[in-house]
Structure formats: structure tokens, C-alpha cells
Amino acid sequence: MNIGIIGAGLSGIIAAREVVRHGHTVELIEKSQSVGGRLATRRIGDGKADHGAVYFTVRGEALNREVNDWVERGWVRIWYADPYPRYIAVDGMNALAKRLGDGLTVHLHERAEAVAVENGKVVIKTDVTTRQYDRLLITSPLPQTLELLADFSVEAALRELTYAPTFVGLFEFTSEAAIGSDGIVDTELAPGLLKVINNRQKGITATELVSVYMDEAWSEAWYGRPDEETLQEIERLLATVTGTASIQSKQLKRWRYAQATDVWNEPFYHLDGHPIYLAGDVFLERGDASGRTRFESAYVSGLHVAEAMRS
């Protein structure tokens, strides 16, 4: 079987690895310059900073087995444990995505624009070419996915799921700006601040790079403001944590679909009558104890949808 996957984030990569392992051919179509999605790391000067997923945790046995292998390979390590381990990628979260995607066929800088089914095959028109597959998996955020599937019948409840944005400010300091004992503070912060991370203390860079995550309400309220004005306000709030430490440079990342405010209580979705599947972190297993989107829900969704597409 020839399978196409739109979106080379964690779910897409895990699904691709699984179907390739079972002898099928796979192509991933990714609009960005790198695989990984929210497993995102940005180079700033001589250093790097994570600005998507900060860490991940493990609840289920499937991911636990995989993570033990990643630890042995030196891909991930425990950052801190309070009360359970928080895992990070040793070279930044995007490095883990690249290692997991190594050997897969990925078309970067290519945006899917339309999806159709013709003679039992799925046809994808992109801004580069037209591609045809026996099965299609879409792992992009649901608003983008459903725009592609505007001409298909999808359950109304799925269309009603919403997402909240998140701003991340990236600040390069000229001197030490210690953040807590482990490089993270996520409690007793000024209103608007969700968490503050020092990437040097985290162990992924030698330079003083701080990632500042804003909460959903603040990000929604500020989403239409200019970047410069937004960064100034984030810097003002950051000073309540770092004091007067001097900032050398600053950047802003806008995640429009950072966190689903609702979830779908199945690990994937199959369009009735069509060889098209949806997966991603918003698709949770029944009985998922956390009830929220996260690294592990994306991983598990990728496993389940791969099994469904092979059958």
C-alpha cells in the first residue's frame, strides 16, 4: 500500500514508522522547514531554545518501552522528577523528531491545498504538485484539517472542537538569569505567565536563553497586537521572575493551535466510506486518565491509526 501523511509532527512520524515497518510505502507532506510540529527548537546566536513542547511525561506501557530505548540511545534524558519524570530531548525537542523521522520520505516546504477521492484513490493537490495514495492520514491541527475536508462529511461534534493559542517569548540574556532550581518556574507567576524556562539550566544549550510561555487567556487577548508591543509586555512580565538581568535579543513565536480546549475520545477518526484518517494529540484513547492533549496522546494516536490503516 502507498500511504500519504499530511503533517510531520509526532503523530505523523510515529504512524509512518509503523506502516513502513510493516512493509508499506509512506510519504509525509509538511508545510514547514522541518519535521516535528510542536517538537520545536529555535537556534538563536550560538545557542538554541525549545519553544513548543517543553518536556514530556509517560503514563502508558507503549511509550514507556519506547522511551527506555531512547534513553539507551542517548536521545532523551530525565530533566527533573516532581513527582514523576519529565523527559527532554538532549539536543532540543526538535532533535528527537528528526531522529524519529530519519529514513522516512518527507516533502518539506509543501502545503496541501485540496483533497479528493477519485476511483478509490486519494488525490492531494499541493502548492508544488499532485500526489495520489491508497490511504491518507491527516495529522495537522483540526481547523486546518477540516478546511481541507470541507467537501467531505465529518461528524459535527468533531468540527466543534476548538483550540487556544499560545505565545512564546524567546529572550537571550547577556548574563545569568537563573530560573528556579531546575530551570523552570510554573507556579506563583504574574497573571498571563504560564511558565518560564531557562534552556541553559535545562541542559540543551550553553548560552542564556529563556523561553516564556503565556497562558491561553492572555495569548487570546493579545493575538491581534503587533509583535513588538507583545514582546515588550512579555518582557515586562518576565522581569518579575528574572529581575534586572540584561536582555540581548528577543523573538516571538505564535502558536495559533497550541492546545485543544476539547478532546475526541477515540485515538483516531476514520471518514466513513473513504480511505482517509485523522490523528493527533487531540485524539485520546478511551479512559485516558489525563483527559488532555500532550506528547503521549500524539504518540499513542499515531500507533493506533497506523494499525487501522494497515487492516
Q: What is the mean pLDDT of the chain?
A: 96
Please tell me the distance from the alpha carbon of residue 309 to that of residue 303, in angstroms, as a whole number. Answer: 10
Say if residue 282's pLDDT is above 80.
yes
Q: Compare 115 and 261 and report the one with higher pLDDT.
A: 115
Q: Compare 292 and 118 and report the one with higher pLDDT.
A: 118
Q: Is 181 strand, coil or helix?
A: coil
Give the model confidence (pLDDT) of 108-166 as tens digits: 999 999 999 999 999 999 999 999 999 999 999 999 999 999 999 999 999 999 999 99
Give the model confidence (pLDDT) of 151-206 as tens digits: 999 999 999 999 999 999 999 999 999 999 999 999 999 999 999 999 999 999 99
CA distances from 44 to 108, 198, 238 (A): 22, 14, 19
CA 219 from centre of chain: 17
Residue 73: predicted pLDDT: 98
Residues 243-254 have a mean pLDDT of 94
Q: How sure is the predictor about 289, in pLDDT bands with cuts at 50, 70 and 90?
A: confident
Residue 291: predicted pLDDT: 84
Exposure of 289 by Cβ count < 10 A (0-12 exposed, 13-18 middle, 19+ buried)? exposed
Residues 53-71 have a mean pLDDT of 96
Please tell me the distance from the alpha carbon of residue 8 to that of residue 296, in angstroms, as a whole number. Answer: 16
Q: Is 103 strand, coil or helix?
A: coil
Model-level pTM greater than 0.75? yes
Residue 154 near residue 272, CB atoms below 8 Å: no
Residues 69-84 have a mean pLDDT of 95
Say if residue 290's pLDDT is above 90.
no
The DSSP secondary-structure symbol of 54 reads: -
Please tell me the distance from the alpha carbon of residue 74 to that of residue 283, in angstroms, as a whole number. Answer: 29
Residues 59-78 have a mean pLDDT of 96
Residue 292: predicted pLDDT: 86
Q: How sure is the predictor about 288, in pLDDT bands with cuts at 50, 70 and 90?
A: confident
Residue 244: predicted pLDDT: 84
Q: How sure is the predictor about 248, in pLDDT bands with cuts at 50, 70 and 90?
A: very high
CA distances from 280 to 54, 105, 277 (A): 18, 19, 10
CA distances from 21 to 11, 15, 310 (A): 15, 10, 11
Residue 261: predicted pLDDT: 86
Residue 97 near residue 13, CB atoms below 8 Å: yes
Residue 83: predicted pLDDT: 85
Q: How sure is the predictor about 272, in pLDDT bands with cuts at 50, 70 and 90?
A: very high
Going from the N-terminus, what domains does the chain have, and what CATH number goes with each? 2-35+101-161+262-310 (3.50.50.60), 41-92+162-261 (3.90.660.10)
Three cell numbers written together for 23? 512493509
Please tell me the distance from the alpha carbon of residue 173 to that of residue 207, in angstroms, as a whole number. Answer: 8
Residue 259: predicted pLDDT: 86
Please tell me the distance from the alpha carbon of residue 201 to that of residue 193, in angstroms, as a whole number. Answer: 19
